[in-house]
Amino acid sequence: MNTATAPLDTARIRADFPLLTSPFHGKRLVYLDSAVSGQMPAPVIERMGRYERLEHTNVHRGVSTLSQEATDRFEEAREKVRAFVNAPSAKEVIWTRGTTEALNLVAQSWGRANVQAGDEILLSAMEHHANIVPWQMLAQEKGATIKVIPMSDAGELVLDDLDRLITDRTKVLGLTHVSNALGTINPVKAIVAKARARGVVSVIDGAQAVPHLPVDVQDLGCDFYAFSGHKLSGPTGIGVLCGRRELLEAMPPWHGGGNMILSVTWEKTTYIGLPGKFEAGTPPIAAAIGLGAAIDYLKALGLDRIAAHDAQLLAYATEKLSAIPGLRILGTAKEKASVISFVLDGIHAHDVGSILDHEGIVVRAGHHCAQPVMDRMKVPATTRASFTYFNDASDVDALVAAVLKVKEIFG
């Protein structure tokens, strides 16, 4: 079999994750919560540890060899991210603390400079709070209005009225690539093309997309694309904002401080260019290097093989879970990532989550930081299982058995 298309050896992959091979409540841990936070494989943890033990100092500081080497490793990680999402240049790759900070950066820097009273901000009905609240804050400050692209009962965006939803006052479109609550993969390229044709700047939340799909920001044609390290088998505390160069260059800095200045006098401060203009202060260096190592790890597994594996698991889990009486899957879009949200008749998601936890199965139970999605689907909360490259059919079977136990306990 061709190694490029061979299925993933999940047993071998799992050996890279100490948590997955340690007992949990006396049972095998079944981690179905990578959409909340991915686990880091040993090579990533080791790479970060090596940096902290043997290579650490500050970056972009002084003339020491140590500082130069730390800077080189840090910038190599940026280049890995650039290649991973095919950004035109590493100057367009800004380090942030995560997706949330990246989206706030756009709302606060680009948004405050470009959105005015009476302008419209267009968001999709399936945004995470991270791509809602920063825009509400901006709208409140500026006297702008927020409009929403609706979605169907299946959890697909209804685009029939998109041409009318985009008006001459629309300044920005906030759109998630993959819904964290429902798993829907949105047709970002087509929507962004319509926005761009009308002069609307697009801000894509890619947090749930990058772990599952090959992403090419140039092909998508978006203006901003944000994602987090910790959903991508990397550490927390590091994230990325990819932005269109001319927009980033025209934007004012957001945070001020060291590292982002050309010169400072009492009279005037001038700023360095991209990407440093948006990176005030000491960055999370080990985390950035760790994210670079995570990308290496995923590329070694093969992004296409991961996507094929995820799709297969999604199909298997959908079939098995759908067969359980009283279980309803929320989010049945044709294009889905390996995320399944479900509700059980008469049983609250938190009770499901607690019993699953006892069975050694880690899922997310709650509103998934997407309360408008819960309101739209008329449920208070769901249980969400997310599948990744180290999960296999036995994990799905364990989930199904545990859900049957929940039903048995609740009678």
Partner 1 sequence: MSDPRELYQAVILEHNKKPRNFGRLDPCTHHADGHNPLCGDQLQLTLNIEDGRIADIKFEGSGCAIDVASASLMTGAVKGKTLAEAEQMAGEFRALVRGELDAAAPHHLGRLTLFEGVRNLPVRVKCAVLPWATLSSALKGESQASTE
Point out which residues bind partner 1 (CB under 8 A): 346-351, 354-355, 357-358, 365-367, 371, 374, 380-381, 409-411
Q: Which of 301, 307, 369, 400 is catalytic?
A: 369
For the CB of residue 64, give the shortest distance to partner 1 in the complex, in Å: 46
Q: Which residue has the tokens 């294009």?
A: 335
For the CB of residue 84, give the shortest distance to partner 1 in the complex, in Å: 34
Nearer CB in complex with partner 1: 242/355: 355
In this structure, what token pair is assigned to residue 280?
Answer: 């005030």
For the CB of residue 208, give the shortest distance to partner 1 in the complex, in Å: 20
- CA-nearest of 180, 236, 103, 156 to 366 is 180
> Can you state the angle between helices 285-301 and 65-85, rounded to 10 degrees?
40
Asked if 258 and 281 touch (Cβ cutoff 8 Å), the reply is: yes
Residue 253 is given by DSSP the state P
Beta strands in 125-228 (DSSP E): 145-149, 170-176, 201-205, 224-228
- CA-nearest of 162, 179, 100, 92 to 135 is 100
For the CB of residue 368, give the shortest distance to partner 1 in the complex, in Å: 10
Nearer CB in complex with partner 1: 244/376: 376
For the CB of residue 360, give the shortest distance to partner 1 in the complex, in Å: 12
Nearer CB in complex with partner 1: 117/409: 409
- Tell whether the torsion through CA atoms of 292, 295, 296 and 297 is positive or negative: positive
Rounded to whole angstroms, the Cα distance separating 74 from 276 reads 13
Nearer CB in complex with partner 1: 92/359: 359
Measured between alpha carbons, how far is residue 110 from residues 100, 174, 289, 308 in Å? 15, 13, 28, 37
Nearer CB in complex with partner 1: 271/410: 410
| Whether 222 is catalytic | no
Catalytic residues: 369
